[in-house]
Homo-oligomer: A and B are copies of this chain.
């Protein structure tokens, strides 16, 4: 049996209250007593039982991250930043992957009750309306990341503007027949990116063509997959002379599929069709994909910081913070004329990050 606070108290000839105070850095313990307690605690390898602590103090020192089941780089990078902060504050990170959207509500109802966790990060999932409504007070602080609800702190990416910037980039390159290769329109990012795309075209007074607007209908990962990109690009390529000269693809992963479809068909990028993605996952750098960078690490950091603030002070007004993706120009959207070609006919892969504001 591991030693309890009583064992330490007895050995150190003090009361349990004193031992407790030592381990909670309570100021009113004399230096000698403190050292004596620490000495024995150390010798006996004593560690306060976190559950007993949680039960007695109503603080758990752990925060819960609820993420969609599919783990992509997007979440990893956010969680990595989260972990870093939590670790230095001595908090535990509990992970809940949600497999089915219907489970979200039950999960919330279960974990949102005081005493389970000190706070909760809710990533990329739709906050059920019904739940948000009945979520009044006396509840655990919740911060949303990559999803929005007026009643909670929300940290999201400006998908509309990002998509618009991406599209404008293609326009600025001289393209006029521009397509969009979108994910499943069920998902909010897909809707917003489509919206941004359309607004950019409208602003540039480029007429929209229905055949240049394609989206996935797949349910898996809301269509943000390599396969969906591949399939939709094949459809684009089948358009023959009506096919676009540039395409805004709503995620890097889809773009990689699209690129593969192009390679197989012998359509060159960017010569025949230029491409721009969204996300800037690691892969994008490797394949030289122009894309919109999402500041995942920053989002994670700010979200936890906000969560901590809210844990200190319940009554903060919800804030809604938005992150503007940055344009990262790489090979797939290079201007053909501006290319450097070396003796072997290959080109260096370069990355140009363009800061937008």
Contacts and interface: CB of A to CB of B under 8 A. Distances in A.
Interface string A78-111: 0110011001000011111101000000000110
Interface string A249-280: 00000001001100111111000000000000
A356 to B, nearest CB: 26
Contacts of A343: 266
B51 A344 contact: no
Contacts of A150: none
B286 A110 contact: no
A87 B97 contact: yes
A33 B47 CA distance: 41
A124 to B, nearest CB: 15
A120 to B, nearest CB: 13
A263 B47 contact: no
A60 interface: yes
Contacts of A62: 94
Contacts of A138: 1-2
Contact of A349 (B97, B263, B344): B263
B266 A110 contact: no
Nearest to A58: B51
Contacts of A344: 265-268
Q: Assembly of this chain: how many copies?
A: 2
Contacts of A83: 69, 71, 95, 97
A321 interface: no
Contacts of A263: 346-349
Band of interface residues on A: 35 or more
A51 B346 contact: no
Interface of A is mostly: mixed
A55 B51 contact: yes
Given A51-B115, A260-B349, A286-B226, A76 B71 contact: yes
Contact of A256 (B50, B87, B286): B286
B115 A99 contact: no
Contact of A55 (B1, B49, B282): B49
B87 A92 contact: no
Contacts of A96: 87, 92-93
A353 interface: no
Contacts of A47: 109-110, 113, 116
A219 interface: no
B109 A345 contact: no
A2 B109 contact: no
A346 B286 contact: no
Given A1-B138, A95-B83, A45 B266 contact: no
A283 interface: yes
A95 B93 contact: yes
A287 interface: yes
A149 interface: no
Interface string A2-22: 100000000000000000000
